[in-house]
Amino acid sequence: AQTVTQSQPEMSVQEAETVTLSCTYDTSESDYYLFWYKQPPSRQMILVIRQEAYKQQNATENRFSVNFQKAAKSFSLKISDSQLGDAAMYFCAYYNQGGKLIFGQGTELSVKP
Amino acid sequence: EAGVVQSPRYKIIEKKQPVAFWCNPISGHNTLYWYLQNLGQGPELLIRYENEEAVDDSQLPKDRFSAERLKGVDSTLKIQPAELGDSAVYLCASSPGLGSYNEQFFGPGTRLTVL
C-alpha cells in the first residue's frame, strides 16, 4: 500500500516571500499521479497542481511549482510571492493505479503581512 | 457549472442517534467518493461509487455506516448509531470517471459533532 508523508505540520512565510512544503511518498508503482491540494477554513478542497510520474519536467501553475524527484520519491511544493490568500492547509496526495487518492497529514501554512 | 453540493454543512447530535449526509455530485460525473477527515488529518476514502455500484467500500465500517447512490446521481451516507469518535468532517467528491486520471472535485463537507 502507498503512503504519503508530510513532515511539516506547520509552516510560516512572510508575504511576498517564497516557501517550500515537503512531501515524500512510498510506492512500488511506476505510473501514478501526485497532487497538492489547498484546503482553506471553508473546507473546500481545491486542486493546486498535479504531476504525472512519467513526466520528468516539473509542473508549474503561476506562482506554484513542484520539485518532483521520482527516484527519491519526493514531491515538494514551492509557493513564490506568497499572498495572504495562500494561508490554508496544504495536502500532498498520491493517485494510484487503482483509482484511489491517498492524502498526507497536511501542512498548515500561515502568511504574515 | 455548479460544484459538488453537500448538506447539511453542520450537524450536532447525541451519541447513539442516527445521522445522514447528502451529496449531489457535478452533473455528468459518474464517480462519487465519500471521505472522512479527522481534525488535523488528510481525508481518507470511505467508499467509491461507479454510477450506482460501490466499487471500493473496504474502508467503510459496515457495522454502523451505510451508503447508497440511487440512480447513479445523488448519494446518502448514514451512521447508525453514531459514536463520539465519529465526530469529523465528511467530504463528498465526484469525478467524470475512472481513467488514467480524472480530477476529483470536492464539496464543502459536513462537520459532524457527536456529544
Q: Which residues contact B107 (CB under 8 A, 6 or more apart)?
A: A44, B3, B4, B5, B6, B23, B91, B92, B93
Write the pLDDT tens digit of every residue in A4-42: 999 999 999 999 999 999 999 999 998 899 999 999 988
- Quick one: pLDDT band at residue B27, thresholds 50, 70, 90? very high
Contact B17, B115 (CB under 8 A): no
Write the pLDDT tens digit of every residue in A61-99: 999 999 999 999 999 999 999 999 999 999 999 998 888
Write the pLDDT tens digit of every residue in B36-77: 999 989 999 999 999 999 988 989 999 999 999 988 899 999
Question: Mean pLDDT, to the nearest integer, of B17-24?
Answer: 97
**Distance separating alpha carbons of residues A14 and B23, to the nearest angstrom:** 38
Confidence (pLDDT) at A100:
86
CB pairs below 8 Å between A and B: how many? 48
HSE-CB at B50 with a 13 A cutoff on CA atoms is 9
Q: Which positions in chain B touch A50 (Cβ < 8 Å)?
A: 101, 103
Question: Are B42 and A44 within 8 A, CB to CB?
Answer: no
Which residue from A33, A44, A91 is facing B42, i.e. has the nearest CB? A91
Contact B68, B14 (CB under 8 A): no
Nearest residue on chain B to A103, alpha-carbon basis: B42
Confidence (pLDDT) at A108:
97
